[in-house]
Structure 1
C-alpha cells in the first residue's frame, strides 16, 4: 500500500460474527483506532437505553467514531434511505436530532444520508430540503453530511459522483460532501480516476471494497492502492473506511493491511 491515509473499520459489515456492541472492542483488538456504523438501531429514534449502550460500547473500546449513517429504513428489506420519502419526512427529521446527538457525544464529524429509492412518491425537492436541514443540524457541531452513489440497488437514483454533486449543488450548504465509495463508483461504471482527478476537493469521506464481490482489497481487480495514493497526493487527508464483506473471518480479511499501518502503534 503506497499511501499513508488512516483506516477505519465499518462495524455494520465487518465483525458481523459478533454482537453489534462487541464489535468496537474487536476493532481495537485488531489494531485500528476508528470505526463507522450504518444506523445501528431498528427505529429512527432509539430508546435512551439503546443509545447509552451504543455510546458506551464505542467509548469503552477506546476507538473513535468517524462515520455514522442516518436512519435508512429497513436495509435488509431493500430500503436505501428515507431522505426523499414524503411518508417518512417526520421520521427523518426526528432521526437527525438523534443522530447528531449521538455523534456529538462521540466526537463524530461525518454523517451519511442515504438518498432513498426512486419510488412513486419520491421527491427530489423534499430531499434537498431534508439534506439542508440535516446539514444545518450537523453544522452545530462542525460536522459534515455525506451523500453517496450506491450500487446493487436498482431503484437508487444516485449512481455516479456527478449524480451526487448535482444534488449537493442544489442544496447549497457548505458542509455537504461526497462520500466516495470507490467500490460503488467502479461497479456503477463511473470513471473513478477522473472523479479523483477533478473532485478530490469535494470528497469528504472515502470507503473501499474490491470488485467483483465487494470483498477485501486484493480479492478483485480494482486499483485501490493507486487510487488512494492519487487521493492523498491531491490533498485528501480524511479517513478511508473498510466497508467490505470479508471473504473469510474478519480478522483474516485484514491480512492485506500490515498491523503497523492500521492506526495503533504496535507494542
Structure 2
C-alpha cells in the first residue's frame, strides 16, 4: 500500500510536530522552518532549556522570532521538567530547589507561550523521591499546579496533565489515564478555573497496557491534547502495532477536535523523511 493511503482522510485533523523529538538533527532555531518546509503549520515543544528554567531574554526572543518567521503556530509547550528525554520527569512535586526553580519559571513560560498564542501548557508531575512521603509530594504538586493553572488561565490556555509509562519512567506516579484525570480534577476543584485537562498520549497509555478504546470513550470529553507515536518503538505510525488511524477516528467520533501532536522518533533517517505516512495536504491545519 502506498505511504499515506490509510491516512488520506486525515485532512480534517489538526496535526502539529513536536520539535523536541523531531528535527533534533538541526539546531533549535532552525527547526520551526524545517517543520514548515515539510508542510506543517503548527509545532509544539518540551521546555527547550533543560538546565535553565529562566533563560536569558535573548534566548527566549530568538526562539519566538524563529517560530514567527517560520509562519507556524505554537500549539503546546511543556513547563520546565528537567532533562527530557532522560531520568528527570517534572519538577513541580520535587521538594527543595527544583520546586523553587519551577515556581520562578511559571510566569516566564506562560509569557513566552502567550506571546505566540499557545493554548496548552503541559506540567509533568515529577518523580517520586526516595525518603520523602508521597503525600508530601502530592501536596506540593497540587500547590504548584494551582500556580501553573493560574498562569495558564492568564494567557487563555489549558493546563495539561499527562500520564507517562512505567517502563520508561518507573518513579513517575501518574502511569494511567485515571491517575492523570484525577489530578486534573483536583486542580480544577482547587482553582475553580476548570482549565486543567488530560493530555492523552496514546503511546504511553499503550505501553502501560491500557484499553485505548475504553480510555477514549471515558475520557475524550476531558482531553485537552492528544499525542501519538507507534508502539513498540515510539516510531512513526505504521512502524509498530497500534491502530492509530482507528484510534484517532474514535476520538473524532467521541467529539475531540483538538490538536494531535506527532511525538515520535524519526528512526535512522532525517526527520523530513519521517512523514510519508501522512499526505502533505493533510499536514497543514485547516
Superposition TM-score tier, normalisation by shorter sequence: over 0.9
Give the Å deviation of 1:75. Answer: 3.0
Match runs of 1:95-174 below 5 Å: 95-120=105-130, 121=132, 123-151=137-165, 152-171=168-187, 172=189, 173=191, 174=194
Q: Which moved more, 1:73-82 or 1:21-30?
A: 73-82
Is this contact kept in 2: 1:24–1:63, CA < 8 A?
yes
Gaps of 5+ in 1: none
1:260 aligns with 2:281: yes
Q: 1:10 aligns with which of 18, 21, 27?
A: 18
In structure 2, how many angstroms separate the alpha carbons of the residues matched to 1:70 and 1:136?
A: 13
- Give the secondary-structure state (helix, strand or coil) at the position aligned to 1:9: strand
In structure 2, how many angstroms separate the alpha carbons of the residues matched to 1:161 and 1:104?
A: 28
Distance 1:264 1:7, change over 3 A: closer
TM-score, structure 1 as length reference: 0.96
Q: CA RMSD in A?
A: 1.3
1:55 aligns with 2:64: yes
Give the Å deviation of 1:264. Answer: 6.2
- Give the secondary-structure state (helix, strand or coil) at the position aligned to 2:215: helix
What is the aligned length?
Answer: 265
In structure 2, how many angstroms separate the alpha carbons of the residues matched to 1:201 and 1:264?
A: 21
Give the Å deviation of 1:39. Answer: 0.2
Is this contact kept in 2: 1:31–1:264, CA < 8 A?
no
TM-score, structure 2 as length reference: 0.90
1:245 aligns with 2:243: no
In structure 1, how many angstroms separate the alpha carbons of the residues matched to 2:86 and 2:262?
A: 23
1:177-216 Cα distance to aligned partner (Å, 9 max, x none)? 1000000000011111111011111000000000000000
Gaps of 5+ in 2: 1-6
1:34-67 Cα distance to aligned partner (Å, 9 max, x none)? 0000001130101011111111110111000000
1:25 aligns with 2:33: yes
In structure 2, how many angstroms separate the alpha carbons of the residues matched to 1:43 and 1:188?
A: 31
- Cross-structure match for 1:178: 198
1:70-103 Cα distance to aligned partner (Å, 9 max, x none)? 0001335410100111212211111111100101
- Give the secondary-structure state (helix, strand or coil) at the position aligned to 1:116: coil
1:37 aligns with 2:39: no
- Cross-structure match for 1:203: 223
Q: Which has the higher contact order (CA 8 A, sep 6+)?
A: 2
Distance 1:77 1:210, change over 3 A: closer
In structure 2, how many angstroms separate the alpha carbons of the residues matched to 1:142 and 1:48?
A: 22
- Give the secondary-structure state (helix, strand or coil) at the position aligned to 2:274: helix
Misfit runs of 4+, over 4 Å: none
- Give the secondary-structure state (helix, strand or coil) at the position aligned to 1:108: coil
